[in-house]
């Protein structure tokens, strides 16, 4: 459990029976330093990292330490095997933890996030959640979501299916925010039907910060998992910058739109499915066209990663496409300009790729709106060489869908057909002006 | 001028002295067909394309045509060489046309856009513009902007410099919207100082449609070019869905955010420089921190295209980076997840690239917000292997900046330093909540 420590430092801490999260006191060179023991990512093996009360953390060399004592052990409530068994049988909502900020009790500006917590820690993370549902939890992975990959998507899907098959009313998946939308898409394409909602939840600010969104996001995710009438793969995150409500987004239509804001997850070319006023335990549906709870959970999770997401920019050279062909790729999603274009200089390379049986789909780097490759010559020429316009699908959703489709179809025509079949609401055929957000166009306050 | 026609069809049309845009009448098989002669993109050389009154266009085979006559010639006002000379000397605003929808008089759903117009047509495109400034125009290119490339950026920059050096108060560049933001960035990095504003302007809907944004965008672009106190490279497009105002965006902070809306261009991580109430000829400044008109125009336009914009997604393989290294690339801009991450599986490939002297910069696919690679382990590890966090720079701006920087520096440290030097306002060190747009979270009206 002494993550990152090695050599002398590991030996020293083990000897003192110290663990990450313990409050420790060090005396060194006549100075007393008090703080929380943090993971080490130092290359040196004689450094101990502690987080001070002011939020900063410091690396302290073992050299010259006169005294070391643990002031307070990190508390972990005890649980017996029998108790765990009992919970498994009776739970209404299962929390599957994959890692990320939401399951980190400690985070700091200059240090690392430790994503791993035990099952018990997750359940005791926010005591109020036990009042709204019988909870069971499982630590499936402890990874930062930037390290999420297709083989993990399959494990998450299988774990979620098991939980629903076992009678849980819904599943909450704690996940890092970086790639949460990709995982949501992967699960959405993998489940043909669901008995209850799968709610991905994360947090933009860890629970040791006063502005943390962890508790509210988790609380409302559990409300949704247990009570929502829809049974879709969704993302539940803060809806606006205050703590009024969270939003439940359709997994295939959501995107992380800001690096740090709590309301960074927003539906694109779509409206969220529901708003959750957590204080009133109210799930307010924003639409009626959702997938409902079914009799059984049908799962078909397979992904072929021989794909590439190609974001076009002026000056892009055609040789990259030749390389992709040579590398044995089976599909390309282009993130083109405007209505779905690239330079016509790439046409021949796309024609060759297409002739080699490679699927090429077009999305737009505008993100909002729909591609339309019939308006301009370039769009028509791209279609002629085999590029398929993918409606209003997000580039991120399209690349995940393509991985799923390629694992199920080998014939190019069938691949095309499946890519244009609306499997999980990833295409929205009718847009309303409200899909486009409103921008601030007034004078800024210069101070 | 008979774009796209070849062989028999070209011969036939030339014989009849027909030109694109002429209203023609064809009698064939006892049917009379009337419409506007359009460019042909048919593979066959005996097809004439005309646009019917109902907006559709049809391809008509030469075979069986009994009669062909021109009902009305496309009108081009005559100008003499002397008149042109006179205008050049006296103009206040120069319009440089590169192509795109804004300079297309004809567009149709099922046909092609013809971007080329003559100088006279541009000036006569909207007669009102002559009332607000003495205008001169130049057709530099006639291309769709998806075909824009770095060598054209240089030509545009040189042409703009010449116009300003000749005493014009400002320059308007008519440009397709697809890659307008990239060109704006390229020009912004190329000009060290300007005597007047360079205003890129385009249109999302062509002037033959009632909802066209062409006239208002062009009109207000000329107002800005002539009267604005700032001398920056800017993009001037519709500000909201009605015709009230246009927005003048800083070229390095703007992005096309919708495939088809007229207000698709919006400032990201920034506020526009000005709002233009064209009816009142009013330029309302939204900020004071702009680059002012200088004594002279300093231009340094060079670009190295040995770069690649790599958008990360889960499942991305490291081999693509190995290929980029082998291909002789000099720089990579990563569009990472969240605060600036990729899978740690790519670390070794980045380390190798970095050791080979390849610059690697990090931006975020969230688009909004700032990268921060000090919060999580992955970010710190990426920095250790040589990845440079690029603040709140847009990925599109970063790739253009990198092309410019690489053409000026060869030492990796100097490249890093220049990438992190705020050359044209591409980095905004202080964010306000208003930068993030407001999203619609209410129930949709289902009809």
Q: Which residues on A lie below 8 Å from B395 (Cβ)?
A: 311
Cβ separation A146–B341 shorter than 8 A: yes
Distance CA A195, CA A172 (A): 14
Query: In whole angstroms, what is the distance from residue A335 CA to residue A371 CA?
Result: 10
Q: How do the residues of chain B divide into helix, strand and coil, expressed in percent and rounded to 5? A: 30, 25, 45
Identify the CA nearest to B224 among candidates B267, B184, B169. Answer: B169
Tell which CATH classification among 3.20.20.70, 3.40.50.40, 1.10.3720.10, 3.40.50.2000 matches the domain A307-419. 3.40.50.40
Task: Give the CA count within 13 Å in the CB-facing half-sphere of A335.
Answer: 24
Residues 6+ apart with CB under 8 A from A38: A20, A49, A50, A51, A57, A106, A108, A111, A112, A114
A257·B307 Cβ contact <8 A? no
- How many Cα neighbours within 13 Å face the side chain of B422? 10
For chain A, the residue count is 447
What's the DSSP call for residue B445? -
The tokens for B83 are 């008149």
φ and ψ of B70, to 5 deg: -90, 120
Q: Which of A297, A238, A266, A272 is nearest to A94 (CA)?
A: A297
Instruction: Name the token pair of A63.
Output: 């050299």
> Considering only the top CATH level, what class is B81-299?
alpha beta
Confidence of residue B342 (pLDDT cuts 50, 70, 90): very high
pLDDT number for residue B84? 52
CA–CA gap between residue A306 and residue A322 (Å, rounded): 15
pLDDT score, position A106: 53
Percent pLDDT > 90 in chain A is 66
B250, β-bridge pairs: B234
Per CATH, the number for B7-72 is: 2.30.30.520
Q: Which residues pair with B277 in a beta bridge?
A: B282
- Residues of chain B in contact with residue A344, where contact means CB-CB under 8 angstroms, are 146-147
Q: Which has the minimum average pLDDT: A289-303, B1-15, B166-180?
A: B1-15
Mean per-residue pLDDT for A239-266?
96
CA distance A41 to chain B (A): 8
Question: What is the residue whose two structure tokens read 């100088």?
Answer: B119
Lowest mean pLDDT among A285-294, A361-370, A420-429, B19-28: B19-28
Distance CA B369, CA B394 (A): 10
Q: Is B395 left (phi over 0), alpha (psi -120 to 50) or beta?
A: alpha
Alpha carbon distance A21, A106 (integer Å): 8
Given pLDDT bands bounded at 50, 70 and 90, which one contains residue A123?
confident
Residues B440, A177: C-beta atoms closer than 8 Å = no
Mean pLDDT across A198-207: 90
CA distance A143 to A151: 13
pLDDT at residue number B105:
60
pLDDT in the model for residue B285: 97
Helix, strand or coil, per DSSP, at residue B268: coil
For residue B173, what are the CA distances in angstroms to A49, B120, B159, B162, B222? 56, 16, 10, 13, 10
Determine how many CB atoms are found less than 10 A away from the CB of residue A422: 12
Percent of chain A that is helix, strand, coil (3-state, to 5): 30, 25, 45
Distances, alpha carbon B103 to alpha carbons A4, A367, B225, in Å: 61, 26, 18
Domain boundaries, chain B: 7-72, 81-299, 307-419
Per-residue pLDDT at A20:
82
Convert the pLDDT of each residue in A324-338 to its tens digit.
999 999 999 999 999
pLDDT tens for residues A373-393? 998 889 999 999 999 999 999
Model confidence at B53, in pLDDT bands (50, 70, 90)? confident
pLDDT at B6: 79
Q: How far is CA B297 from CA A289, B93, B135, B302, B330, in A?
A: 58, 16, 20, 16, 30
Looking at residue B370, its pLDDT comes to 98
Helical (H) or strand (E) element with A380:
helix A377-384
pLDDT at A81 (0 to 100): 54
Position of tokens 């890129």?
A: B200
Q: Which pLDDT score is estimated for A438?
A: 96
The arithmetic mean of pLDDT across residues B2-13, rounded, is 80
Percent of chain A exceeding pLDDT 70 equals 90
From chain B, the residues in CB contact with A389 under 8 A are none
Per-residue pLDDT at B181 exceeds 50 = yes
pLDDT over threshold 90, residue A217:
yes
Do residues A292 and A231 lie in contact, with contact meaning Cβ atoms separated by under 8 Å? yes
In the predicted structure, residue A344 carries a pLDDT above the cut 90:
yes
Helix runs in B126-167, H state only: 129-132, 150-165
Q: What pLDDT, on the 0 to 100 scale, is given for residue A101?
A: 78
Nearest Cα residue to A388 out of A436, A346, A332, A442: A332
| pLDDT of B86 higher than 80 | no
Task: Given the residues A98, A101, A183, A342, select the one marked as catalytic.
Answer: A101
Cβ separation of B371 and A259 shorter than 8 Å?
A: yes
**Which of B85, B124, B72, B88 lies closest to B103, judged by CA?**
B124
- What pLDDT band is residue B116 in, cutting at 50, 70 and 90? very low
How many CB atoms neighbour CB B318 within 10 A? 16
Distances (CA, A) of A322 to A314, A351, A353, A354: 18, 11, 8, 12
Which one, of A336, A369, A390, lies nearest residue B144 by Cα? Answer: A336
Angle at A312 between CA A309 and CA A315, to 5 degrees: 135
End-to-end CA distance of chain B: 48
In this predicted structure, what is the pLDDT of residue B214?
A: 86
ipTM of this complex: 0.82
Average the pLDDT over B128-141 and give the result: 90
Q: Which helix (H) or strand (E) segment is B254 a member of?
A: strand B254-256
For residue A215, how many other CB atoms are within 10 A of its CB? 18
Q: What is the mean pLDDT of residues A29-37?
A: 85
User: How would you label A75-90 residue by residue, b for 16+ Cβ within 10 Å and e otherwise?
Assistant: eeeeeeeeeeeebeee
Closest CA to B212 of B357, B102, B48, B100: B102
CA distance B4 to B24: 18
Tokens 């599909």 found at: A331
pLDDT band, very low/low/confident/very high, at A141 (cuts 50, 70, 90): confident
Backbone angles phi, psi at A382, to 5 degrees: -65, -40
Contact predicate B25/B65, CB 8 Å? no
Q: What is the pLDDT of residue A212?
A: 83
| Minimum CA–CA partner of A347 in chain B | B147
Contacts of A183 in chain B (CB under 8 A): 314
Pick B366 or A214 by higher pLDDT. Answer: B366
User: Which residue, among A245, A397, A441, would best test binding to B if mutated, counting the most B CBs under 10 Å from its CB?
Assistant: A441
Could you tell me the pLDDT band of residue A339, with boundaries at 50, 70 and 90? very high
Q: Quick one: pLDDT at residue B55? A: 62
CB contact under 8 A, B374 and A107: no
Minimal CA–CA distance to B183: which of B192, B173, B193?
A: B173
Flag if A286 and B144 touch (Cβ within 8 Å). Answer: no
For residue B107, the chain A residues in CB contact (below 8 A) are: 375
Query: How close, in Å, is residue B186 to chain A by CA atoms?
Result: 10
Q: Do domains A81-299 and A307-419 have the same CATH topology?
A: yes
How do residues B278-326 score in pLDDT, each as one tens digit?
A: 999 999 999 999 999 999 999 999 999 999 999 999 999 999 999 999 9
B430: confidence class by pLDDT, cuts 50, 70, 90 = very high
pLDDT above 70: residue B172: yes
Residues 6+ apart with CB under 8 A from A165: A195, A297
Contacts of A364 (CB under 8 A, 6+ apart): A335, A336, A337, A338, A339, A340, A370, A371, A395, B259
Give the DSSP H or E segment for B223.
helix B214-227
Measure the CA–CA gap between A253 and A268, rounded to whole angstroms: 6
- Judged by average pLDDT, the poorest of A353-357, A405-409, B124-128, B283-287 is B124-128
Q: What percent of chain B has pLDDT over 90?
A: 66
User: Are the CB atoms for A334 and A383 separated by under 8 Å?
Assistant: no
Average pLDDT over all residues of chain A: 89
User: What is the pLDDT at residue B326?
Assistant: 96
pLDDT of B380 above 80: yes
Segment A311-328 shows an average pLDDT of 96
Whether A241 sits inside 8 A of B377 (CB atoms) is: no
**Whether A248 contacts A235, CB under 8 Å:** yes
Q: How far is B268 from chain A (nearest CA, A)?
A: 10
CA nearest to A278, candidates A240, A244, A305, A304:
A244
pLDDT number for residue A126: 76
**From the centroid of its chain, how far is CA B403?**
17
Q: Give the chain B residue whose CA is nearest to the CA of A111.
A: B375
Question: Under a CB-based contact definition with an 8 Å cutoff, are residues B185 and A344 in contact?
Answer: no
Pick from A178, A314, A335: CB nearest B182: A314
SS3 at position A199: strand
What pLDDT does residue A113 have? 54
Tokens found for residue B231: 């001398």
B259: nearest CB among A112, A285, A364: A364
Active site residue A177: yes
Q: Provide the pLDDT for residue A331.
A: 98
- Determine, for residues A113 and B377 on separate chains, whether the beta-carbon distance falls below 8 Å: yes
Backbone angles phi and psi of A442, in degrees to 5: -105, 170
Position A177 pLDDT exceeds 90? yes
Helix axes B377-384, B347-355, angle to 10 degrees: 30
In chain B, what residues touch A311 (CB-CB under 8 Å)? Answer: 309, 311, 335, 395
**Token code pair at residue A132:** 């709204």
Neighbours of A374 (CB within 10 A): 14
CB atoms within 10 A of CB B63: 9
Q: What confidence tens digit (pLDDT) does each residue in A78-118 have?
A: 444 555 555 555 899 999 999 877 777 654 434 455 554 66
Q: Which pLDDT band holds residue A265 (cuts at 50, 70, 90)?
A: very high
Q: Which DSSP state fits B185? A: H
């Amino acid at each position: 459990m002494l993550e990152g420590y090695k050599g002398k430092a590991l030996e020293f801490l083990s000897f003192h029976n110290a663990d990450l999260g313990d409050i420790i006191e060090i005396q060194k060179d006549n100075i007393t330093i008090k703080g929380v023991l943090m993971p080490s990512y130092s290359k040196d093996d004689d450094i101990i990292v502690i987080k001070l009360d002011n939020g900063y953390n410091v690396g302290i060399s073992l050299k010259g330490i006169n005294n070391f004592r643990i002031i307070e052990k990190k508390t972990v409530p005890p649980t017996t095997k029998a108790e765990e068994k009992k919970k498994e049988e009776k739970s209404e909502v299962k929390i599957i933890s994959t890692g990320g900020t939401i399951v980190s009790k400690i985070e700091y500006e200059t240090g690392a996030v430790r994503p791993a917590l035990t099952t018990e820690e997750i359940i005791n993370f926010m005591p109020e959640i036990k009042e709204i549902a019988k909870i069971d939890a499982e630590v499936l992975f402890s990874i930062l979501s930037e390290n999420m990959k297709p083989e993990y998507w399959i494990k998450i899907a299988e774990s979620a299916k098991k939980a629903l098959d076992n009678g849980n009313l819904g599943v909450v998946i704690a996940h890092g925010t970086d790639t949460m939308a990709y995982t949501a898409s992967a699960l959405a394409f993998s489940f043909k039907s669901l008995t209850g909602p799968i709610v991905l939840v994360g947090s933009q600010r860890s629970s040791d910060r006063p502005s943390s969104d962890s508790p509210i996001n988790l609380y409302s995710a559990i409300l949704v998992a247990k009570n929502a009438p829809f049974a879709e793969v969704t993302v539940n995150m803060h809806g606006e910058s205050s703590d009024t409500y969270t939003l439940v987004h359709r997994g295939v239509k959501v995107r992380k739109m800001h690096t740090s804001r709590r309301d960074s997850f927003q539906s694109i070319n779509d409206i969220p499915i529901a708003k959750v006023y957590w204080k009133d335990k109210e799930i307010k549906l924003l639409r009626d066209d959702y997938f409902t709870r079914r009799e059984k959970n049908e799962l078909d999770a397979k992904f072929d990663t021989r794909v590439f997401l190609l974001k076009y920019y002026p000056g892009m050279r055609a040789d990259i496409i030749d390389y992709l062909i040579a590398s044995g790729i089976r599909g390309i999603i282009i993130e083109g300009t405007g209505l779905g274009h690239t330079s016509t200089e790439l046409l021949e390379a796309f024609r060759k790729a297409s002739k080699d049986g490679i699927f090429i789909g077009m999305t737009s780097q505008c993100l909002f709106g729909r591609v339309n490759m019939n308006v301009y010559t370039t769009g028509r020429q791209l279609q002629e060489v085999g590029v398929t316009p993918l409606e209003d699908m997000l580039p991120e959703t399209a690349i995940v869908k393509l991985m799923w489709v390629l694992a199920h179809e080998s014939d190019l025509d069938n691949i095309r057909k499946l890519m244009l079949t609306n499997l999980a609401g990833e295409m929205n055929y009718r847009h309303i002006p409200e899909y486009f957000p409103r921008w601030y166009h007034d004078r800024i306050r210069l101070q």
